Structure 1
Amino acid sequence: MKKYAYNEITLMQFICILSGVQLSVGLLALPQRLAQRAGTDGWIGLLLIWVFTVIANLIIVRVMSSYPQGTMMDLLTHYCGRWVGKVAAVLLALYFFSYGYVGITRTILYVKQWLLPQTSTFQIMLLLLIPTYTVARNGLRIVGRYAELVFFISLWIPFAYLLPLQDAQWLYLLPVLKEGWLPILSAAEIAFLSFSGIGITMVLYPFLLHKRQAFAGVAISNTVSMLVFLMISLICFVYFSPSEIKEYNEPVVNVLKNIEFKFIERIEVVFISFYLFMFSLSWIPTFHASAFCVSWMLGKPDHRNPLRVLWLILAAGTLIFVPSFTQNDMMGRWLSKIAFGIEYAIPVCLLIYLWTKKE
């Protein structure tokens, strides 16, 4: 009997969760950061980090296939012992919590800047945590259905970005490789955080209904993320001049300001309001994964009690401290370094270890 059969998810839900974790709050500032490092050649850095991420995610799936009915903690317990599994559970719980915290605090900052400037951060946090608990408490299958719903109701967003192309200046992209490869590699480093989050595959894999589809799932999800990042970045690069784009903190929002409809005055406000659904995929799956890791470590089948504790910590912590944009950026940079170790270095080491173990 499958250990995690009750909360099995489909391939579509698997893809939506992975892409949703990546396509979240990091998108709004991505074009500016790419331009600061490599000018309009920054889009090439996206392609480089996409290849790197797909390979890393395929390695994670290959490692997980060695113990298909268990999570990463189960795999490490099976091959390395109980205490190694518990240490992994603690590290993954902290990592997923940190990832979700960076995402939810960034969302609060965006809401205060664009939508509710007079509302306290504590009230906004509560407004975000209530639906978070409602979705995450019911298990991964419900999280997967929510991610699937967000994906389908967000399909209109890319088409909205085709409207500014009537004022595009495609010559801004030329010449290609203006300053060589070094700035592009630097831009790829900036894009790394946007492509992070693939570590959640370590928790999602045993819940996937058909494990053989995991390789296709991670390739499709990362490709979808790359295409969205590439499309939005290129539109910003050809709409703003190379010097102008560096002046906007969220060029993805600013590019919409000149779009006008008779029935709506400020489409960027509607965009931010609607994009909150996509933002939520940066913390709902990761908070669920964090609570799941804690419940696994404690040997409890129910993840709701750890989720309630996490909920209270976030709500109470908001009364004490909420990071600014600068502090949130700093937390994101540290998170990207941790992500490199957890999502890239450790799976490679595990793959080598499993190969030597089998020999």
Structure 2
Amino acid sequence: MKVHPGHEITSLQYIFLLTGVQVGVAVLSLPRKLAETAGTDGWISILVWWLVSMLASLIIVQIMKNSPRGSLPDWAAEVLGVWAGKTIALLLTLYFCVLLYDGLTKSVLITKTWLLPNTPAYVITVLLLLPTYMIARHGPRIVGRYCELIVYLSLWIPLVYLLPLKQAHFIHLLPVVKDGWQPILTGAKEMIYPTLGMAATFVLYPYLKHKEKATAAVIASSSLTMLTYLFMTLICLVYYSPDEIAEYNNPVISVLKSIEFRFIERIEVPFIAFYLTIFSLVWIPTMYLATFCSSWLFARKDIRGQLQILCILIALATYFYTPTLYQNLMMEKILIGFGLSVEYIFPLILLSFIVLYNRLRRRNC
């Protein structure tokens, strides 16, 4: 499936697309998970995994430089044969569908818990799928513009999170590396799930308007993701005591209760409502990516039919079965293993193959 001239995305849209797919509902509970594993040194675990994820992103970019005008299935079909392309397209379709379903169901659970406890899950899902379809059907350019808009509209959020610092105790962070590096490296594993989504480059790279800026773009995207998680984690670590933070399932939401305004009683409620737009940066792009790959698999040029089918299947699945919080955590563990295979192991193997293939081709020439 070749790139159409009207669907190119800018470097900034590309950065926000990748960051949006990575920064999702996981940010709400990440400070607690890091504190349970690495204590108050959990913020260092973010920096450690940032280097790993950025290296993985650069490997994916190096792979896609071999296919500047087509997605990864296009390259595989051209070099290895049609069935290799179809196999990779199927793998990416399944992976993006799991990412999509995980991000959407987690957002539905958050909405039911904090905003609409008496509304059925399938009703919330349908309400979220309607704008998703309207945006995703127009392709990567409109999805990229949507991501760019949401990022600009979210620039005020860090300023609000600075307000709890009046009651913060920075001494909680000291001493640094108090228990050695083993807890920090163990805590880095908690960053696998929050940073999943780099595989979007396998599809989005051909749409990048200035491909020579791809390396700088993925570095900027990984750094922006890292700064987001680092900021939220540090705010929670200095506000809560090392023992207290473990008592809150979503400390990023709970810390908002310390902020008081005369004109609003529960400030966390409108924040969660706005967070849904940020969380939509996970399921809207991945819905497009999943339907792109499935359309490639079935040799369809128009993704709208695949998009409609996927929306109907998700709505029906939610009507008959809504995962509980525990089942959602189990799906998260499955997604971690799937993500490690698709975004870390597979690109490393593929890059090794490409290097060997190019050397053999030059030798034969």
| TM-score bracket, shorter-length normalisation | over 0.9
Structure 2 length-normalised TM = 0.97
Aligned to 1:269: 269
Identity among equivalent positions (%) equals 47
Q: Deviation at 1:270? A: 1.2
Taking the aligned partners of 1:199 and 1:332, their CA distance within structure 2 comes to: 17
Aligned to 1:23: 23
**Which runs of 4 or more aligned residues in structure 1 lie more than 4 Å from their structure 2 counterparts after TM superposition?**
none
Q: Trace 1:72-87 onto structure 2 (pairs within 5 A).
A: 72-87=72-87
CA contact (8 A) 1:58 1:218 kept: yes
Aligned to 2:316: 316
Taking the aligned partners of 1:82 and 1:4, their CA distance within structure 2 comes to: 22
Over the aligned positions, Cα root-mean-square deviation in angstroms equals 0.9
Aligned to 1:351: 351
Moved more, 226-235 or 172-181: 172-181
Q: Trace 1:150-229 onto structure 2 (pairs within 5 A).
A: 150-229=150-229
Aligned to 1:284: 284
CA contact (8 A) 1:4 1:69 kept: no
Taking the aligned partners of 2:161 and 2:142, their CA distance within structure 1 comes to: 30
Q: Which runs of 5+ in 2 are unaligned?
A: 360-365
Q: Deviation at 1:299? A: 1.0
Structure 1 SS opposite 2:332: helix
Alignment size in residue pairs: 358
Structure 1 SS opposite 2:322: coil
Aligned to 2:327: 327
Q: Which runs of 5+ in 1 are unaligned?
A: none
Taking the aligned partners of 2:245 and 2:4, their CA distance within structure 1 comes to: 47
Aligned to 2:362: none
CA contact (8 A) 1:19 1:225 kept: yes
Task: Describe the superposition over 1:156-205 as per-residue Cα deviations: whole angstroms up to 9, x where unpaired.
Answer: 11111100001111111111112221211121101111011111111100
Task: Describe the superposition over 1:33-72 as per-residue Cα deviations: whole angstroms up to 9, x where unpaired.
Answer: 1011111111111001100000100110011001111101
Q: Deviation at 1:328? A: 1.0
Taking the aligned partners of 1:76 and 1:343, their CA distance within structure 2 comes to: 17
Q: Which amino acid aligns with 1:159?
A: L
Q: Which amino acid aligns with 1:353?
A: F
Aligned to 1:253: 253
Q: Deviation at 1:264? A: 2.0
Q: Trace 1:95-114 onto structure 2 (pairs within 5 A).
A: 95-114=95-114
Aligned to 2:363: none
CA contact (8 A) 1:70 1:206 kept: yes
CA contact (8 A) 1:49 1:191 kept: yes
CA contact (8 A) 1:71 1:203 kept: yes
Taking the aligned partners of 1:129 and 1:75, their CA distance within structure 2 comes to: 32
Taking the aligned partners of 1:4 and 1:237, their CA distance within structure 2 comes to: 47
Q: Deviation at 1:287? A: 0.9
Q: Which amino acid aligns with 1:56?
A: A
Taking the aligned partners of 1:95 and 1:4, their CA distance within structure 2 comes to: 25
Q: Deviation at 1:239? A: 0.3
